Amino acid sequence: MDQNFVTVLYNSPHQIPLGKLLAQYFYLTGLSAGSFVVSVIAILGGKSEYKALGKIGAVVAPLCLVLAPMNLLTEMAQPLRSWHLMTYLPGYINLKSPITYGVALLTSYPISAIIYAFFVYTGNMKMSKIFAIIGIPLAISVHGYTGFILALGKGRALWNTALMPTLFIVSAMVSGIALMMLIAIILNVFFSKDKSQEAIAADRELIYGLGKFLGGVIIFDVFLIFNAVLVLLTSSKEAWHVAELLLWGRFAVDFVGIELILGSLIPLFIVFYPKTARNLKALSFASILVMVGIYAMRYTVVIGGQSVPLH
Amino acid sequence: MSKTQSLHDSTPDKAPVVRFAMVLDLRRCVGCHSCSVACKSENEVPLGKFRSWVKVIEKGRYPDVSRQFLPALCNNCDNPICNRNCPVRATYRRPDGIVQVNQHRCIGCMYCMASCPYDVRYINPLRKIIQKCFFCDHRVDKGVEPACVETCLGRARIFGDINNPNSEIAQTLATNPVTTLKPDLGTEPHVFYIAADYDAMDPTSGVDINHIHFEHPF
């Protein structure tokens, strides 16, 4: 029946369970996984000029991942019972739940990332390559599992898609590259007084290359978002309402304004337009925009996904 | 209705002796909300939370109007997604079909709340754990009907074992057209509705989703 003919007199919707802290947790694991992957690409790439990049990522990755689970603990209603997750006793732990494998990943990934960082900084290339190869699947799955957390949330139309883990991994790459680019620019401008002019110029070439890489991953990310929204618009009634919320409803400013226009299209223009692609100020502006845009993406997915009534 | 079978099990599971379920006959419901009150007093449900409540809608244009009710409670699904997603097995399904929460194991991660398609779980603001309707299992274990069933003045609620062909619920299910909420999700809900209204069952009908305000617990 037409919407205008129905009035809800009484209903009792419950609170939304997952809040901004969970979005922040997703954001921080994304930063960590993305910067780790870039660092490993730089180290395995073999060329000595890439090494600077590898060192930045090796520090950023464990740092973000130490901060991330703090958000989870404060989000939980019973933080002191969090040891229930780590008993690993049959009958006490549910191996079907994505949170269970998330706990195993959240403990093993930072350890391997810290060992990797140790070998990168002590210059032991052989061992750092070994731990890079160990760390890559861990880094991808530590962020991929957060996508599964949402994808297996059956009740929510925005989350329950097979695209969600891929979308999360790609957006993690986007934010990780942006953070590394920003740090590389800061190091290049403020902390390279004792370096020779040639070394500084080589570092800048590296930053410009990173900008192009960022642009490529943003294009893939926008393509995935386009797919997700297109399917939402033609899927179930609830999915249509989520698309309505995101495209012209309550979350339009966060999704279309901040995530798509500020966080994707303007940075894309900056990294590919020849005049700004080789300008450090423009590139740092682009990387800040990208990071804000990915935060808006986490926010709209977590909060927006729960903002459609289920009852 | 005979024994229901889990979606993901190709082999028929061992025949459960008892499978509790509820039928809500909305031809008899008068919308008095006494089930909500009985549930709150029986289970000490905190202020502002409901394990069982009645959604009320009005539809149509004068003079062709009606008021429809939809009592809501946990569906105690055969294939509960909350059960699958709980990382510490605090939520489990009893052999008689009641989906229960172990209050000493729950870590309050609220993942079950987020994944439940029926929005029946809430977090207890005093005890900080997840709670929901358990078909009053403490009463059922003693052979008494749940509080909402006993208090329902129109006898709109029928509770019992659907595997027992002589029970009232099995006979009601066998002789009436019934439906469940969101049957397409494959959760196999075990709260059945007779004469439920389409618009009352539709969560987004009559709702301006841009102006709903959802609170966050913390």
pLDDT for residue A86: 87
**Strands laid side by side in the B157-161 sheet:** B157-161, B20-25, B191-194
Token output for A261:
């226009």
Interface check for A197 against chain B (CB to CB < 8 A): the answer is: no
Task: State residue B60 phi and psi, 5-degree precision.
Answer: 95, 175
Nearest to B122 among A14, A103, A250 (CB): A14
Distance in angstroms (rounded) separating the CA atoms of residues B131 and B121: 6
Residues of A within 8 A of B60 (CB-CB) are: 5
Of B108, B113, B115, Cβ closest to residue A154: B115
- Chain CA centroid to CA A251, Å: 19
Task: Count H helices and E strands in chain B, helices first.
Answer: 7, 9
Query: Given this model, what pLDDT does residue A46 score?
Result: 65
Question: Rounded to a whole number, what is the distance in Å from the CA of B19 to chain A's nearest CA?
Answer: 23
In sequence order, the β-bridge partners of residue B56 are A10, B69
List, as ranges, residues 217-236 from A with C-beta within 8 Å of B: none
Contact A9 B128 (CB under 8 A): no
Report the C-alpha gap between B16 and B1 in whole angstroms.
14
* Closest residue by Cα to residue B190 from B165, B173, B177: B173
In the three-class reduction of DSSP (H, G, I as helix; E, B as strand; rest coil), residue A303 is classed as helix
Q: Using CA atoms, how far apart are residues A19 and A76, in angstroms rounded to an integer?
A: 11
- pLDDT at residue B206, rounded to an integer: 85
**Tokens found for residue B21:** 């379920």
**Which chain B residue has the Cα nearest residue A91?**
B89
pLDDT along chain A (311 residues), means of 10: 75 87 93 92 77 86 91 90 87 89 91 93 88 92 91 91 93 94 91 83 88 94 95 92 92 94 95 91 95 95 91 85
Which residue is closest to A246 within chain B, CA to CA? B210
Whose CA is closest to B190, among B69, B122, B99, B111?
A: B99
Query: Could you tell me if A19 and A303 are in contact, meaning their C-beta atoms sit under 8 angstroms apart?
Result: yes
User: The complex's ipTM?
Assistant: 0.88
Closest-CA distance of chain A to residue B59, Å: 4
Q: What average pLDDT values come out for chain B (218 residues) when binned by 10 residues?
A: 43 68 95 95 92 94 92 94 93 93 92 92 92 94 94 94 94 95 92 94 87 72
In chain A, where are the structural domains located? Answer: 17-305
Distance CA A237, CA B73 (A): 23
DSSP string, A175-199: HHHHHHHHHHHHHHHHS-TTS-HHH
Instruction: For residue A294, give every residue at least 6 positions away whose Cβ sits within 8 Å of its Cβ, in sequence order, or none.
Output: A27, A30, A171, A174, A175, A178, A259, A263
Local structure of residue B211 (DSSP, 8 states): G
Asked if A12's CB is within 8 angstroms of B50's CB, the reply is yes
3-state secondary structure of A269: helix
CB pair distance less than 8 Å for A311 and B119: yes
Shortest CB distance from A241 goes to which of B67, B87, B209?
B209
Q: Which of B67, B119, B128 sits opposite A310 (nearest CB)?
A: B119
B92-B79-A308 Cα angle (round to 5): 100
Residue given tokens 């062709």 in the structure block: B64
Task: Flag if B55 and A98 touch (Cβ within 8 Å).
Answer: no
Q: How many CB atoms lie within 10 A of CB A234?
A: 9
Q: Of the candidates A1, A84, A237, which has its C-beta nearest B88's C-beta?
A: A84
Sort out which chain B residues have CB atoms less than 8 A from A16's CB and list them: 114, 214-216
Query: Measuring CA to CA, how many Å separate B32 from each of A189, A260, B55?
Result: 71, 49, 11
Contact B204 A19 (CB under 8 A): no
Domains annotated for chain B, with CATH where assigned, are 20-202 (3.30.70.20)
Alpha-carbon gap: B143 to the closest alpha carbon of chain A (Å): 29
Q: Which of residues 163-182 of A touch B (CB under 8 A)?
A: none
Would you call A75 an interface residue with chain B, using a CB distance cutoff of 8 Å?
Answer: yes
Q: Do A77 and B86 touch (CB under 8 A)?
A: no
Which of B120, B187, B207 is the closest to A8 by Cβ? B207
Q: Confirm or reject contact between A187 and chain B (CB < 8 A).
A: no
Taking the Cβ of residue A97 and every Cβ of chain B, the question of whether any pair is shorter than 8 Å is answered with: yes
Chain A: closest CA distance from residue B164 (Å) = 31
pLDDT computed for residue A164 by the predictor: 93
According to CATH, what is the number of the domain A17-305?
Answer: 1.20.1630.10
**Cβ atoms within 10 A of the Cβ of A183, count?**
18
- Give A99's contacts in chain B (Cβ within 8 Å): 85, 87, 109, 111
β pairing state of B191-194 and B20-25: parallel
Q: Is A73 on the interface with B (CB under 8 A)?
A: no
Closest chain B C-alpha to A207 CA, distance in angstroms:
40
Helix (H) or strand (E) holding A222: helix A197-234
